[in-house]
Amino acid sequence: MTQEMTRYVGVDLGQQRDYTAISVTERVLLPTGNYSREPYYDWDTGRTRWQRVEEGKPEYRVRHLERPPLGTSYVDVVWRILELLESLRDNKLVLAVDTTGVGRPVADMLKAQLGKWLESNREVPLTTGWITITGGDSVTKAEGGGLRVPKRDLASAPLVLMQNGQLKIAAEMPLADTLRKELLNFKVKINISTAHDSYEAWREGDHDDLVLSVALACWAGERFPKKGATVWSF
């Protein structure tokens, strides 16, 4: 099978006293040796036929982690995101941004600058999305665009992949050990009396922003894996 790769740029926009974290995670399909039959339209005969297609198992590879210094302005963060996208422009890209708590003006500023960048880079295969984290039970559309996503869904995405051996972290990254430790310490607690979730170390430690940026990438990759699928838009 042809190995198709998509790069997911996860961005956790920190508030004034919190770090912002940016990650780049590659999603590739590895051959499994298993095959399925898929229909296709034969234009020569005008009939639907079947083809044998090898199934792939997704693997996520965290290739880049960064955390701008505390106090970095949102304007500088936006330009850094655009700079990173520019360096990855030859690849199929998904940009997943957590805007919880930073306010609508910050998200609108990023959208505006990103829109200008895309006007002069129309050939870049970029899908964008804006996430608001909630304590609910289902994914819903957010007012004004984007999605409201339960923290349960985001938290479980990298944990399940890690447990299944599908999440790899490049060892040479300066923040690799920090991310690995935070993932291992990231535990889900269920309150039996209320049936609600609470998360140990969810945005309570110094480095939870790294976990969240990678979780955004993993969640988007698992929810919208099909070629040409629309993740969400402006």
Residue 179 lies in a domain: yes
Residue 94 lies in a domain: yes
Give the pairing of strands 21-42 and 47-66. antiparallel
Least confident of 130-134, 142-146, 164-168: 142-146
Mean pLDDT, range 165-172, rounded to an integer: 93
Mean pLDDT of the chain: 81
**Local confidence band at 30 (pLDDT 50, 70, 90 cut-offs):** confident
**Local confidence band at 195 (pLDDT 50, 70, 90 cut-offs):** low
**Local confidence band at 194 (pLDDT 50, 70, 90 cut-offs):** low
CATH number at residue 21: 3.30.420.240
CB 159 within 8 A of CB 125: no
Between 133 and 203, name the one with better pLDDT. 133
Residue 47 lies in a domain: no
The token pair at 47 is: 């009939």
Residue 50 lies in a domain: no
Mean pLDDT, range 154-183, rounded to an integer: 90
Look up the pTM and report it.
Answer: 0.82
Residue 124 lies in a domain: yes
Q: Provide the pLDDT for residue 228.
A: 39
The whole domain housing 97 covers 5-28+62-223
DSSP for 163-218, please give it.
Answer: HTT-EEE-TTSTTHHHHHHHHHH--EEEETTTTEEEETTTTTSTTHHHHHHHHHHH
Residue 201 lies in a domain: yes
Mean pLDDT, range 157-169, rounded to an integer: 92
Per the structure, the count of domains in the chain is 1
pLDDT digits 0-9 by tens, 117-140: 888 877 788 888 889 888 878 888
Amino acid at 23: S
User: 37 — phi, psi (to 5°)?
Assistant: -105, 130
CB 159 within 8 A of CB 183: yes
User: Crossing angle, helix 176-185 and helix 151-163, to 10 degrees?
Assistant: 110
Residue 54 lies in a domain: no
CA distance 148 to 134: 6
